[in-house]
Structure 1
Amino acid sequence: MAKIFQVSARAAMAHVIEPVARRLIAWGVTPNQVTVAGTVGVLGGSIGLGAQGFLVAGALVVTFFALVDLVDGTMARLSGGSTRFGALLDSTMDRIADGAVVGTVIYILAQRHDQWGVVGGIICLVTGAVVSYVKARAEGLGLKANVGIAERAERLIIIGIGGLLSGFGLEWGLAAAVWFLAAVSVITIWQRMAYVYKQAEAADAADRARAAEAGS
């Protein structure tokens, strides 16, 4: 399924990210350390800068660490695969960072008395959690849900762009980014649910066929 960042763009980023990942591994840095550092960076950019009114600096920091989030996965792959705890840590830190970013945006919009922007922010908060939950629950059932127009990096970059626009005087940019993010998040949920539905139907049909054969 199509993504906001197409395969070609992701491949171009990989050419930058992979050498960085290799260098960090050579220095003895672990994927888990990068995961935690990335979360601290996002928290600093959103709460420490964005919520204090430094939108441009906050947006740049959040966008940078959204890309850093791609580094730990690359490091794990180059190191021979992620550990079970590493996967759990990554998901947990992602949820904390996402909540901080969207919560900060809601706070800023509330300060501006932008009620519709706040509504959009709440939708983003809920749909962002559901996007991640669908994938986690599907994987728990032995299915895949790694599809959708907007994955985590895309969602953070959308917010970052909105913050930059707002910081440069285009205040409508933040609310526009929030509503755009809400829309693509809803689409991503639908795409993942449809993708999982097809797999689940096929798996259930196979189970019924095996049960029928065993009973005959």
Structure 2
Amino acid sequence: MQAIVNGLALTRISPNVLTFIGLIINTGAAVLFGFANENNYVRMFVYAGLVIIGAGIFDMVDGRVARKTDQVTIFGAFFDSVIDRYSDVVLFFGLLVFYARGNRLFYVFLAAFVMITSLMVSYTRARAEALIGKCKVGFMERPERIVLIILGALFDRWGAMAPVLWVLAVLSTITVIHRIRYTYVQTSHMAPVQTTDPLALAAEREATGNVQPHPTSAL
């Protein structure tokens, strides 16, 4: 992995480009899921699992390349997080299409539910950390989700993807509930939030002595 990072660093490629390439590769895996049918799904799922592994390499090296080439930025961290959410959604959407084409309505709903909970796992952490600093509780984060999807794809010959979706649905829901409870406990002693201004605007007002809250719309 370090050799890959060193080689990419020599090209001076933008880490944001690497992040976006990972999304494109995951989209290819989603297409393989979506075009699978009852006759070729074993082969197509194996291909999709291998493609997701390839996309995972870009997920692992973009941050390292950024540090190696001194291209670490706040926007880069934001962009990486946003693209990761798209990568999650596109994979589950591919599975949703597969089950829909096979008239397996229950698993269409299950794949959609897992898609929603995967987003909520990330959202609850991001929203909580905007209030309390850190919220890393819970188990089912993105690396665990990706590993499970890869295992389900590679071993769907034995029907592995269906139980993988169940595991994702249950553990992701538990993770969301855990983070909600953790945030409730951490904020129960805090004063109510007086403003929803971005931190940059709040810092500017403090520096200029203007402490009047600026009217903003809530998220």
**Fold-level similarity (TM above 0.5):** yes
Amino acid at match of 1:76: A
Given candidates 181, 184, 190, the residue that maps to 1:197 is 184
- Residues 1:55 and 1:77: Cα distance change in structure 2 (over 3 Å): same
Matched, 1:22 2:22: no
What is the 5 A alignment of 1:1-216?
A: 16=1, 18-47=2-31, 49-53=32-36, 54-80=44-70, 82-166=72-156, 169-170=157-158, 172-201=159-188, 203-204=190-191
Q: CA deviation at 1:150?
A: 1.8
Q: CA deviation at 1:19?
A: 4.3
Q: CA deviation at 1:43?
A: 0.6
Amino acid at match of 1:100: V
Q: CA deviation at 1:80?
A: 4.9
Q: Which stretch shows the higher mean deviation, 37-46 or 49-58? A: 49-58
Q: CA deviation at 1:66?
A: 2.8
Any runs of at least 4 consecutive aligned residues in structure 1 with deviations exceeding 6 A, and if so which? none
Amino acid at match of 1:177: V
- Residues 1:146 and 1:82: Cα distance change in structure 2 (over 3 Å): farther
Segments of structure 1 that go 5 or more residues without pairing to the other structure are: 1-15, 206-216
Higher helix share: 1
Amino acid at match of 2:108: V
Q: Which stretch shows the higher mean deviation, 86-95 or 33-42? A: 86-95
Contact residue 31 and residue 73 of structure 1 kept, 8 A:
yes
Amino acid at match of 1:40: I
- Residues 1:138 and 1:80: Cα distance change in structure 2 (over 3 Å): farther
- Residues 1:77 and 1:144: Cα distance change in structure 2 (over 3 Å): farther
Segments of structure 2 that go 5 or more residues without pairing to the other structure are: 37-43, 193-219
The equivalent of 2:197 in structure 1 is none
Q: How many residues align structurally?
A: 185
Q: For the pair shown, which has the larger CA radius of gyration, 1 or 2?
A: 2
- Residues 1:191 and 1:76: Cα distance change in structure 2 (over 3 Å): farther
* Alpha-carbon distance between aligned partners in 2 of 1:146 and 1:35, rounded to the nearest angstrom: 23
* Alpha-carbon distance between aligned partners in 1 of 2:6 and 2:118, rounded to the nearest angstrom: 31
- Whose RCO is larger (CA < 8 A, sep 6+)? 1
- Residues 1:77 and 1:138: Cα distance change in structure 2 (over 3 Å): farther
Amino acid at match of 2:34: A
The equivalent of 2:207 in structure 1 is none
Give the fraction of aligned pairs with identical amino acids, expressed as a percent: 31
Q: CA deviation at 1:81?
A: 7.0
Q: CA deviation at 1:124?
A: 0.3
